[in-house]
Amino acid sequence: MDQKQETAFEKINNAIKNSVSVKLLSIGFLIAILLIPQSMIRSLIRDRQSNQFKAVSEVSDSWAAPLELTGPIISVPFEIVEVYQDKKTRTKKYAHFLPDELNIDGTLSPETRKRGIYEVIVYSTDLKLNGSFDQIDLTQFTNQPENILWDEAVLSIGIPDMRGIQADVQFQLGKKTHRMESGIPAYLELNLAQSEPRIDYHVDRQGQKQTGVNARIKIDPKSEKMDFSVDLDIRGTKTLMFNPVGKSTNVKIESSWPHPSFTGQFLPDDYEITEKGFTANWSVFDLNRNYPQQWVGKAHAISAADFGVNLYQPVDNYQQNTRSAKYAVLILFLTFISFFFIEILNKKKIHPIQYILVGLTLTIFYTLLLSLSELVGFSSAYWIAAGIIITMLTLYSLSMLKSKKLAGFMLFFFTLIYTFIFVILRMEDFSLLVGSFGLLFVLSICMYLSRKVDWYNISNKQKVENATV
The predicted pLDDT at position 198 comes to 43
Examine residue 256 and state whether it is found in any structural domain, yes or no: yes
* pLDDT one-digit tens code per residue, 365-374: 988 888 888 7
- Number of structural domains, the chain? 2
Stretch 380-386: mean pLDDT: 91
3-state helix, strand, coil in the chain (%, to 5): 45, 30, 25
Residue 75: what pLDDT? 94
Section 134-159 average pLDDT: 91
Provide the pLDDT for residue 202: 34
Q: Does one domain contain both 113 and 254?
A: yes
pLDDT at residue number 207: 38
Last residue of a domain, one of 289, 313, 337: 313
Measured distance CA(241)–CA(221) in Å, rounded: 33
**Residues 328, 449 within the same domain:** yes
pTM of the model: 0.69
What does the angle CA 430 – CA 432 – CA 434 come to, to the nearest 5 degrees? 65
Give the percent of the chain with pLDDT over 90: 32
Residue 185 has pLDDT above 50, yes or no: yes
pLDDT at 112: 82
Instruction: Tell me the CA distances in angstroms from 328 to 32, 37, 331, 367, 462, one per residue in order.
Output: 12, 11, 5, 12, 33
Residue 86 predicted with pLDDT over 90: no
The average pLDDT across 331-357 equals 80
In a shared domain, residues 142 and 31: no
Distance CA 192, CA 302 (A): 5
Any domain includes 399: yes
More confident residue, 32 or 332: 332
Inside any domain, residue 416: yes
The residue type of 239 is T
State whether 156 and 300 are in the same domain: yes
Of 85 and 175, the structure prediction assigns the larger pLDDT to 175
Out of 126-140, 201-215, 223-237, which region has the weakest mean confidence (pLDDT)?
Answer: 201-215
Residue 438 has pLDDT above 50, yes or no: yes
73 compared with 41, residue with greater pLDDT: 73
For the cut 60, the answer to whether the pLDDT of residue 6 exceeds it is no
Lowest model confidence (mean pLDDT) among 112-121, 268-277, 323-332: 112-121
Contacts of 298 (CB under 8 A, 6+ apart): 189, 190, 191
Both 201 and 246 in one domain: the answer is yes
Looking at the predicted structure, is the pLDDT value of residue 410 above 60? yes
Lowest mean pLDDT among 81-90, 170-179, 224-233: 81-90
Residue 20 contacts residue 460 (beta carbons within 8 Å): no
Q: Are residues 348 and 393 in the same domain?
A: yes
Residue 452 lies in a domain: yes
pLDDT of residue 467: 39
What's the rounded Cα separation, in Å, for the pair 116 and 118?
A: 6
Domain finish residue from 248, 279, 313:
313
User: Are 275 and 414 contained in the same domain?
Assistant: no
> What's the confidence (pLDDT) of residue 2?
54
> Do 196 and 303 meet the contact criterion of CB atoms below 8 Å apart?
no
Q: What is the mean pLDDT of residues 404-423?
A: 87
- My answer on whether 241 and 384 are in the same domain is no
Quick check: is 60 in a domain? no
Residue 442 CB coordination number (10 Å): 18
Q: Provide the residue range defining the domain that includes 407.
A: 10-50+318-468
| Pair (131, 203) in one structural domain | yes
Categorise residue 71: left if φ over 0, alpha if ψ from -120 to 50, beta otherwise.
Answer: left
347 falls within a domain: yes
How much is the mean pLDDT over the chain?
A: 81
Q: What is the pLDDT of residues 391-403, one digit of tens each?
A: 999 998 888 888 8
Q: For residue 435, name the pLDDT band (cuts at 50, 70, 90).
A: low
pLDDT value at residue 205? 38
Report whether pLDDT(270) > 90: yes
Of the three residues 266, 297, 313, the one that is the final residue of a domain is 313
